[in-house]
Chain A
Amino acid sequence: NAGVTQTPKFQVLKTGQSMTLQCAQDMNHEYMSWYRQDPGMGLRLIHYSVGAGITDQGEVPNGYNVSRSTTEDFPLRLLSAAPSQTSVYFCASSYGGRAQETQYFGPGTRLLVL
């Protein structure tokens, strides 16, 4: 049981490049979410999904796209990277279809945009 896995662990991008951050969970969780964490600001929700085929925007969705074609996978796409997107990105999942459950976080992806 691997839990929540994220790849890559580290990434350096140039401004304007695009990339996909991968997130997968093997716990059959319905709810998955993406957060970014910046110093002194806690976690901010980017996008979330309450089940396969269903996604919605969080607090800071601009510049990011998501899709949920399977229960297991929830990739986050940066369309055109900007220095303001330099951050640590966490994927999380929880049983059931809402946030009112224990969230299990992945190890994070550290992204630097130059």
Chain B
Amino acid sequence: QQPVQSPQAVILREGEDAVINCSSSKALYSVHWYRQKHGEAPVFLMILLKGGEQKGHEKISASFNEKKQQSSLYLTASQLSYSGTYFCGTEISNSNYQLIWGAGTKLIIKP
């Protein structure tokens, strides 16, 4: 039931782009993206709702393909501050208020 995130880890140079994927075997109502830096709490990035549009925030955007039960997070022109572990949390339709989280994608940005 846990969504699958890919890749597990990625190393980039500052300024490069990255795509992180989140795939579920269940029909999804919403997908949530969070970033966690080492030793800190996860911090909200964005929520994508079923039937909603692609979301964006500065150089970080995401899409949600309901038919494929997948979401992708796009990081454009990555900055050093983007380093961390990215988690997707999925709300399964009629899930009774629970989020099921992927195992995370570790992103390392080098100068």
Contact surface of A with B, Cβ cutoff 8 Å: 31, 35, 40-45, 48, 50, 56, 58-59, 90, 97-108
Contacts and interface: CB of A to CB of B under 8 A. Distances in A.
Given A43-B87, A108-B41, A97 B97 contact: yes
Given A99-B91, A100-B29, A105-B41, A42 B49 contact: no
B42 A100 contact: no
A103 to B, nearest CB: 7
Interface of B: 2, 29-30, 32, 34, 40-44, 47, 49, 87, 89, 91, 95-104
A42 B86 CA distance: 10
A100 B101 contact: no
A102 B47 contact: yes
Given A90-B42, A105-B42, A42 B99 contact: no
Contact of A99 (B42, B99, B102, B103): B99
Contact of B103 (A42, A98, A100): A42
B97 A50 contact: yes
B67 to A, nearest CB: 20
